[in-house]
């Protein structure tokens, strides 16, 4: 085909040939643990490639062996996810946490330094502080909007500047939409890289991706996803992904093979289905979120709204980074109600359409209280530093009718007594 097709067109066909499956228009679930070799010689050849015992011939491809190494649903999903981020390679996992932890374990060794942006997703935060440190890795965080000088000072004063292994960033950050400049982090990584040692920049793009922010274009080496969120999009599956160049993803796939945390055929198949509607779902969610955020910002029971679409040139650094890195304000809003925990709970307890649940990026709208739920484990002083206050509510806007959603939010806000 001569025409360069867009990802949303290719989601229905890319990487799958109906001739492989009796003409089935849809890729079936290859619910099998193992694959039959035509001849012993073929099995030998596949293993040689899988174990890197020799290089691949030009006319040769890696054959199917065993579903911990490869499976058609897993591979087709990887091929399709690559298109959105323009990545060379992709590895998919049974959860977002397994994608993140596998990447951290592959690119960090005992004695290394991990630098990360704050705040991090609660699960990642726990892994960094309580698991990596047990493996002899030094961890240092920097605050949202930290300047180059501040970040460099954190590295220099760590006593481990020659061992910086990785910079992990989450932008926009959960739950406040705080931004981190990816290109700035890449240039700091380059400053501490040497010929034999590349400091890897990894971006958790769950909040924006894979549609609205493409970290690889801004210098990131790895993009990480909780595919449970927008990619899955229906609150019915847990999954994850990591994308980057061939060399880095090959290393991650080898570790995945031995950790055994690859995606299952059925989960992969569910995500193939989800990807067909990814763009229309995400666009509708962002459209709804823009209506809701601007009305919330006018509401007397609301003290403050954190939404990328409400940034103005007065928010200087954030405004510039937002316009450079993101193509949409997204569908995640957080806001402070007037009052504290009691008022936030009153609001949450009176929602009738929006579900009181954690997670995000789904067709249905979800609301929760970060300080006592997703970010309950964050140290009290850090909660204050990152703006995770008792009055903060996080809202993930779905594809419902915007007026219906606004009706629900307004009637729940009315339940808050004047404080
Ligand atoms: C949910 C989430 C994760 C963890 O993903 P799981 O699929 O739940 O394992 C990681 N990062 C961010 C930003 C998330 O929102």
Give the model confidence (pLDDT) of 268-293 as tens digits. Answer: 999 999 999 999 999 999 999 999 99
Query: Is there an atom of ligand 1 within 6 Å of 206 CB?
Result: yes
What pLDDT is attached to residue 96? 98
Query: Is there an atom of ligand 1 within 6 Å of 394 CB?
Result: no
Task: Compute CA distances 402 → 13, 205, 233, 282, 396, whole Å.
Answer: 32, 26, 18, 14, 13
Task: Compute CA distances 357 → 127, 142, 373, whole Å.
Answer: 23, 29, 9
User: Structure tokens of 329?
Assistant: 């304000």
CA 379 to ligand 1 center in whole angstroms? 19
Given a cut of 80, whether residue 419 has pLDDT beyond it is no
Q: Which atom of ligand 1 is nearest to the CA of 228?
A: 7
Average pLDDT along the chain: 96
Per-residue pLDDT tens over the stretch 354-400: 999 999 999 999 999 999 999 998 889 989 999 999 999 999 999 99
Q: How many beta carbons lie within 10 A of that of residue 381, not counting itself?
A: 8
Nearest-angstrom CA–CA distance, 412 and 414: 5
Q: What is the mean pLDDT of residues 95-118?
A: 98
Q: What is the bridge-based pairing of β-strands 355-356 and 392-396? A: unpaired
Query: Is there an atom of ligand 1 within 6 Å of 121 CB?
Result: yes
Query: Is there an atom of ligand 1 within 6 Å of 97 CB?
Result: yes
Q: Which fold has domain 7-32+67-275?
A: 3.40.640
Domain 279-418 falls under CATH 3.90.1150.10 = yes
Domain boundaries, the chain: 7-32+67-275, 279-418
* 165 φ, ψ (degrees, to nearest 5): -105, -35
What pLDDT is attached to residue 145? 85
pLDDT-based confidence at 50, cuts 50/70/90? confident
Query: Is there an atom of ligand 1 within 6 Å of 362 CB?
Result: no
Q: Which atom of ligand 1 is nearest to the CA of 360?
A: 15
Query: What are the E-state strand segments in 160-248?
Result: 164-170, 200-204, 222-226, 240-244
CA 381 to ligand 1 center in whole angstroms? 23
Query: Is there an atom of ligand 1 within 6 Å of 229 CB?
Result: yes
């Amino acid at each position: 085909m001569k025409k360069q097709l867009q990802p949303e067109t290719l989601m229905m066909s890319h990487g799958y040939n109906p001739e492989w499956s009796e003409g089935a228009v849809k890729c079936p679930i290859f619910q099998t643990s193992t694959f039959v070799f035509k001849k012993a010689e073929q099995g030998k050849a596949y293993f040689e490639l899988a174990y890197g015992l020799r290089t691949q011939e030009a006319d040769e491809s890696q054959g199917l062996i065993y579903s911990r190494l490869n499976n058609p649903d897993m591979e087709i999903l990887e091929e399709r996810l690559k298109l959105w981020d323009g990545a060379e390679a992709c590895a998919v996992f049974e959860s977002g946490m397994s994608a993140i932890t596998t990447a951290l374990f592959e690119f960090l060794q005992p004695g290394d330094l991990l630098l990360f942006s704050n705040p991090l997703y609660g699960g990642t935060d726990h892994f960094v502080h309580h698991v990596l440190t047990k493996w002899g890795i030094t961890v240092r965080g920097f605050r949202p909007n930290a300047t180059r000088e501040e970040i460099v000072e954190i590295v220099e004063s760590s006593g481990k500047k020659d061992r910086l292994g990785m910079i992990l960033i989450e932008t926009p950050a959960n739950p406040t939409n705080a931004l981190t400049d990816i290109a700035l982090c890449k240039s700091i990584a380059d400053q501490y890289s040497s010929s034999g040692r590349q400091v890897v920049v990894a971006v958790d793009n769950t909040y924006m991706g894979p549609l609205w922010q493409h970290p690889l274009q801004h210098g990131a080496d790895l993009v990480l996803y909780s595919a449970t969120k927008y990619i899955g999009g229906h609150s019915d599956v847990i999954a994850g992904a990591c994308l980057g160049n061939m060399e880095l993803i090959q290393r991650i796939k080898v570790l995945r093979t031995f950790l055994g945390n690859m995606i299952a055929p059925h989960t992969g198949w569910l995500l193939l289905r989800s990807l067909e509607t990814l763009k229309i779902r995400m666009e509708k969610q962002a459209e709804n979120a823009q209506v809701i955020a601007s009305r919330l910002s006018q509401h007397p029971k609301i003290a403050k709204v954190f939404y990328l679409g409400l940034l103005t040139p007065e928010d200087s650094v954030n405004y510039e980074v937002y316009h450079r890195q993101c193509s949409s304000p997204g569908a995640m809003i957080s806001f402070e109600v007037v009052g504290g925990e009691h008022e936030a709970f009153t609001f949450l307890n009176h929602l009738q359409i929006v579900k009181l649940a954690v997670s995000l990026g789904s067709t249905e709208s979800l609301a929760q209280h970060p300080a006592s739920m997703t970010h309950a484990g964050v140290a009290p002083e850090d909660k204050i530093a990152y703006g995770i206050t008792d009055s903060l509510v996080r809202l993930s806007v779905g594809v419902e009718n915007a007026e219906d959603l606004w009706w629900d939010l307004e009637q729940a806000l009315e339940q808050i007594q004047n404080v």
